[in-house]
Homo-oligomer: A and B are copies of this chain.
Amino acid sequence: MPTYTPPTKDMQFLLHDVLKVAEADIPGYDELDRAFTGAVLEEAGKLSAEVLAPLNPVGDRQGCTLENGVVRTPEGFKDAFDQVRAGGWTALDCDPEYGGQGLPYLVSTAVGEMFSSANMAFNMYQGLTHGAYNTIHAHGSEEQKRTYLPRMVTCEWGGTMNLTEPHCGTDLGLIRTKAEPQDDGTYRITGQKIWISAGEHDMVDNIIHLVLAKLPDAPEGTKGISLFIVPKFLVNADGSLGDRNALSCGGLEDKMGIHGNATCVMNYDGATGYLVGEPHKGMRAMFTMMNEARLGVGLQGYAQAEVAYQNALGFALERLQGRDVTGPKAPEKPADPIIVHPDVRRNLMDQKAFVEGARAFTFWGARMIDAGHRAGDAEAEQMISLLTPVIKGFLTDKGFETTVLAQQTLGGSGFTREWGLEQFVRDARITMIYEGTNGIQSLDLVGRKLGQDGGKAIMAFFDMIKAYIKENSGADEVFDQQFLDPLKAASKDLQAAGTYFMQHGMKAPENALAGSYDFMHLFGHVCLGLMWARMADAARTNLAAGAGDAAFHEAKLATGRYYMARHLPMTATHLARIQSGAGPVMALAPDQFAAGAA
C-alpha cells in the first residue's frame, strides 16, 4: 500500500525563505511566523498521513453506490470527514463573520495540497463546498449568506456547482435548464445536470446546489444564464431543515478514477430555487470564483505527482536490480538498489524538479490571491488572472505526466493495483479535464488574458522577470550561468511567441489559437524557471549564512540546476511549434482526417 509523508520542510522553506510571508504587507500575514505555520502544517500532515491516506485505496476500490436515491460513500469516509470538520479544517480561510478562521488563502492552499495528496477523491467533497461557499459569499444576498454560509463553513452542509448538461459542457450558452419565476419570489428549476461532483452523498445533512439555468425571457447564449441556490432540503426561517426539494440523483458516472467521489447526474423536477445576484448575470458570478477553483485544480495535479514521487522514490531505494555502472554500491547484497542507475535518477529528478517547482508556483499564486483580496493589490489581481490558466493547464498536464513517470519507476509493480501508483495516475487524469479542459485554459490565456487591457498583465510579467534578473545578476557568476542565463533565454522565447501572436494573430486569429497550447506550456516553463531561480537564491543565501539544514539546501540547488538544464530547453521547441503557425494545423478538411480508413 502506498504511503504519504507530508512535505512540511519544503513548505516551510517556501513560505519563509522564498515568499517571506511574515514580512509581507498583507493583512493577516503578520501572524504567519515559522512556528505558527509549522504547527498548522504538522497537524494537517498528521491527519493526512494517518487518516486520509489509508482511505485512498479503499475509496478507489469501493467507489460510491446509489440505491433508492441514496449515495453511499466508501467505508470510513464519513468518520474521516467528521474528523476533518472537528479539526476546523473546513473553515480555515473562511470569513469569521460566518464562523470561519479568517486565515490567508495561502495557508489553506498548503493544507489543501496535503489533503489532496493523501486522498484527492475525499478532499473534493470539502473542495466543492468551499467553491459554493465562495460563490454565495461573493454574490449572495445578506439573507442567503446568513442562511447557508455558517453550515457550509463547517461542512455540516455540502455544496456543488451545476454547470454541465448532456449536450453542453464548455459551451454553456447552450444550456436548457429552465427557471420559472413564482409568485413568492422563488423559481421552479427544471432540467438535467451531469458530472456533478459530490452531487449527492451521505456525509452531510443538506446539500446546497448552485445551478445555472435560464429565465423565460433570457437572451440567447451565455448572456442569458442565471445562477440559483437549490438546496436539497429547504431551510426554514429558524434555520432548521424543511421539506425535501424536488431534485434527485439520477445516476453515478462510472469513471477512470476518483472513485471515492460521487459524480452525479442531477435531475431538477420543478425544484425550488433562489436567484443569486441579478438575472442573466450567472456566468459572471461563476467566473468570479474561477481563479481559486482553477488554482485548486492545478494544485491537485502536482499533489498527485508529489505522492506518486514519494512512492516511486521509496521503491527505487529498496528494489535491488543490477549493479552501478561505476562499481557495486551495495556489494553485500545480491544487487544494488535501482536508484544507482542513471536512467532511474533521470526519472526521479524529473519528478522532483517538477513537483517542487509546481509547489512554489502555486504558493506564489495563492500569495497573489491574498494580496488581491486582502490588500487590494490590483497588480497582483491582474497577474494571478493571467497566470491562472497556466497554473491549471501546465501543472495538471505535467502533474499527470509525473505520476506516469513515477509509475514507470516501479516497472511491472507500477501497473498492479496493489502498489497504488496506478491509482494516482487515474486520479490525476481528471485534473486535465475538469474546471475547463486544458485546451480551454490555453484559449483563455491566449484568447482573453494576453490581450486584456492592451496586454498590461503580460507586459508586467516580462518587466518582473527582467527586473528579477537585473537585481540578482552580477554577484555570483555560477548562479548567473546556471540559473539566470537559462531563465533569460526561456523568457526571450516567451516574448518571441507573444510577438509572433501579435504579428500574425491580428489578421488571422488561428495563428494565435493554433499555438495556444504550446504557449501555455512555454509560459509554464518560464514560471517554473523563475521559481527555481528564486528557490536556488534562497538556498544559497541560507547556505552562505549557515542557516538551516545544509543537505536540504544543497539538494534544492542541485534540483534547480536540473530543472534549468533539462526542462527549460523545452521552450525552444514550443516556440518553434508556435512559429510554424496555423498552416500545418488547419491544412486538412474535416473529412480528410479519416482518409486512411477502409
Contacts and interface: CB of A to CB of B under 8 A. Distances in A.
Contacts of A508: 326
B555 A588 contact: yes
Interface stretch (A87-95, A273-281, A380-388, A412-420): A412-420
B585 A349 contact: yes
B439 A415 contact: no
Contacts of A584: 349, 558, 561-562, 565-566
A598 interface: yes
A219 to B, nearest CB: 15
22 contacts: A9-B597, A167-B320, A168-B321, A174-B321, A253-B416, A256-B422, A257-B415, A317-B590, A326-B508, A339-B590, A342-B510, A343-B442, A343-B514, A343-B516, A352-B593, A411-B437, A412-B434, A555-B593, A561-B583, A565-B577, A566-B584, A569-B577
Nearest to A596: B10
A439 B595 CA distance: 35
A211 B321 CA distance: 20
B582 A566 contact: no
A155 B520 CA distance: 51
Contacts of A496: none
A174 B335 CA distance: 8
Given A569-B572, A590-B337, A585 B414 contact: no
A202 to B, nearest CB: 23
Interface in A471-530: 508-510, 513-514, 516-517
Nearest to A552: B595
Given A343-B517, A554-B592, A325 B510 contact: yes
Interface in A400-435: 400, 404, 407-408, 411-412, 414-418, 422, 425-426, 429-430, 432-434
A15 to B, nearest CB: 13
Contacts of A412: 164, 169, 195, 433-434
Given A346-B514, A566-B580, 8 more contacts: A174-B321, A256-B422, A326-B509, A345-B588, A555-B596, A558-B587, A562-B584, A565-B584
A59 B73 CA distance: 27
Interface of A: 5-10, 13, 42, 45, 164, 167-171, 174, 195, 253-257, 310, 313, 317, 320-322, 325-326, 334-335, 337, 339-349, 352, 356, 400, 404, 407-408, 411-412, 414-418, 422, 425-426, 429-430, 432-434, 437-439, 442-443, 508-510, 513-514, 516-517, 549, 551-552, 554-556, 558-559, 561-562, 565-566, 569-570, 572-573, 576-577, 580, 582-588, 590-598
A392 to B, nearest CB: 14
Contacts of A514: 342-343, 345-346
A313 B345 contact: no
Contacts of A337: 590
A421 to B, nearest CB: 9
A592 B555 contact: yes
B597 A513 contact: no
Nearest to A164: B412
Contact of A585 (B164, B404, B417, B562): B562
Which residue of A322, A443, A585 has the most chain B CB atoms within 10 A of its CB atom? A585
A67 to B, nearest CB: 20
Nearest to A256: B422
A598 B45 contact: yes
Contacts of A559: 588
Contact of A343 (B340, B344, B416, B439): B439
A345 B430 contact: no
A577 to B, nearest CB: 5
Contacts of A313: 593-594
A282 B429 CA distance: 41
Contacts of A347: 439, 517
A596 B415 contact: no
Nearest to A4: B597
Contacts of A565: 577, 580, 583-584
Contacts of A595: 9, 549, 551-552, 555-556
A322 B170 contact: yes
Contacts of A596: 7, 9-10, 13, 356, 552, 555
Given A343-B514, A438-B408, A594 B256 contact: no
Contact of A561 (B414, B569, B587): B587
Contacts of A317: 590, 593
Contacts of A167: 320
The 6 closest A-B pairs by CB, nearest first: A10-B596, A569-B576, A558-B587, A256-B422, A342-B513, A171-B321
